[in-house]
Chain A
Amino acid sequence: MNHEAIKELLYKMADDQLILGHRNSEWTGFGPLLEEDIAFSSMAQDKIGHSLALYTILHELGEQDPDTIAFTRNADQFHNTVFTELPNAEYDFSLIRHFLYDTSEALRFEILSQSSFEPLAQLAIKVRGELRYHTMHANTWIKQLGSATEESISKLQKSLEYALPYALGLFEPSLYESKLINEKVFEGEKALEEKWKKKVEEVIAQTQLQLPNWKTLTPHYGGRIGKHSEHLQPLLDEMSEVLRIDPTAEW
């Protein structure tokens, strides 16, 4: 089995989860209503948990330990999409990102539950219930706010249009697509993207939101090969601020 290909897949998944989990955790204590504050925080914790599980698999493949990988790399060594590193802005954008990202995540893990790479298949099966809640949460909120008031519909619409090119960056093809497909590790980004579009269309159709024609959108690529926005390095500096006081100390 091609370890470089698998590592690339693991890194991009793990980095997405870590960076978005970190972003979403910024809402804890600042949410729009108490119960939602709690729910959103749980899902952020799940994402950090998933990234830890993925970094642990990487560690078993010979990479450094999860804390070192997560807390000591620079921005250009990260493989997350630019989508996940964008600042939270207001709740409409955070919700739209949660919906677009978690839909892709749930589908990606669903595909991976059939993977020939056993550790990933096992993880995918394990987190199925968590992801079911994440998509249930996202879909319910999008359906509610996407059909509520003029204000909520227009806020969501604006965020949706802003987010979509970045979201398409989730499916940036890697150098290893054919290897992963041939070795039955993963169906490939193209297949995932098609499934994702169908699912997004299905949910948006139940709201008063409008999806632009996919053909008019240019995906924002680059994150997978370390080309990031100006937002990632400050995020990483902040995340590692305490650890960097003494990286050799135990905290």
Chain B
Amino acid sequence: MYGGGNIFDEIKPDDVAGEDSIKLAEFEARIDRGEKIEPTDWMPKLYRKQLIRMIEQHAHSEIIGALPEGTWITRAPGFKRKMALMAKVQDEVGHGQLLYSAAETLGKSREQMIDDLINGKSKYSNVFNYPTFTWADCCFISWLVDAGAIVNQLANAKGSYGPYCRALERICAEESFHLKYGHHCVIYLASGTQKQRDMFQEAIYRWWPPMMHFFGPSDKISVHTEILMKWKVKMDTNDNMRNQFLDMYVPKIWELGFTIPDPKLKKNTATGRWEYTEPDWDEFKRVINGGGPCNKERLEVRRIAEERGRWVREALRAPKTEYITPLA
């Protein structure tokens, strides 16, 4: 579950200046033809660097994203929910596994990536730094955060890097169950008792601001990413993806009779674009940089998990095997 779009570095003109112009032209021609780039192809350093960052952040978001929903894994009400939530949280871990493997083909080991996560060097989606106070918060994530992730992932699956596309195709196929399950949970809360409805309404109040942050800062204040769009690393602008999400899901939330805490939220029928109160981007930055309500806990839990698993991994380290970059 990843909203992407958020933390690309500022790109300077000389980032590409040193590249071999013939190779660069061949590389760009391949992308223009609609052919994917594979790990053994020549690629610009900037392309490799930005892809590693993007796929790594995506992988971390899956692993950390397993935690807020995992908060309710032992408390899901009834067999149907219990089994579904177990399978869903497991899938998030599985998606992390697929994405780390895709990033590894670019030359960074999984171990190095997990170290960078735990030591605070890498980022992940800020939405997972918020707490899930009730079962309804968990349902909000299952339905709407997943829905947002699918908007992003479907776009990225059309990108230029073969291993990332393969991973995303698999992930999107698996997530069709997540989205249906999440919506199913919410329909039951919406049509249930007053208490159940209140639970979900409160979850919307809590989760709407992080949900608006999910697709990253507004295009007006984002760093310029034209070259990444040209190389099909970044597939659409943050605002376009946010708009697409609002277009698909706001009517569904309203349909259930819930209130979204933004009085300005409406679709401009002339432009086809959604209008909304500008999200608080200072809050976004504060959370991304470690100041959210759960940043510390999320990393601490990962650190403890690694620490507890250390003896297992050390015991299994075999002299006969060696780490090698995956082929595809």
Contacts and interface: CB of A to CB of B under 8 A. Distances in A.
Q: Do chains A and B touch in the complex (CB under 8 A)?
A: yes
Interface of A: 22, 25-26, 28-38, 41-42, 44-45, 48-49, 52, 66-67, 70-71, 90-91, 144-145, 148-149, 151-152, 155, 238-243, 245-246, 249-251
Interface stretch (B33-41, B93-101, B152-160, B208-216): B93-101
26 contacts: A25-B73, A28-B73, A29-B63, A29-B66, A29-B89, A30-B305, A34-B100, A45-B83, A45-B86, A45-B87, A48-B83, A49-B83, A67-B78, A144-B315, A145-B316, A151-B315, A239-B74, A240-B75, A243-B77, A245-B135, A246-B193, A249-B192, A250-B192, A251-B78, A251-B81, A251-B135
A238 B311 CA distance: 30
A96 to B, nearest CB: 13
A91 B306 CA distance: 12
A78 to B, nearest CB: 16
Contacts of A240: 75, 77
Contacts of A32: 305, 308-310, 312-313
Interface residues of B, number: 46
Task: Please provide the 6 A-B residue pairs with the shortest distance between their CB atoms, ordered closest to farther.
Answer: A32-B309, A152-B315, A148-B315, A251-B77, A41-B90, A32-B312
Chain B contact residues, majority secondary structure: helix
Contacts of B75: 238-242
Contacts of B195: 245-246, 249
Given A151-B315, A242-B135, A245-B135, 16 more contacts: A28-B70, A29-B70, A31-B305, A32-B310, A32-B313, A34-B96, A38-B90, A45-B86, A52-B83, A71-B77, A91-B308, A144-B316, A145-B316, A242-B76, A249-B196, A251-B188
Contacts of A45: 83, 86-87, 90
B79 A33 contact: no
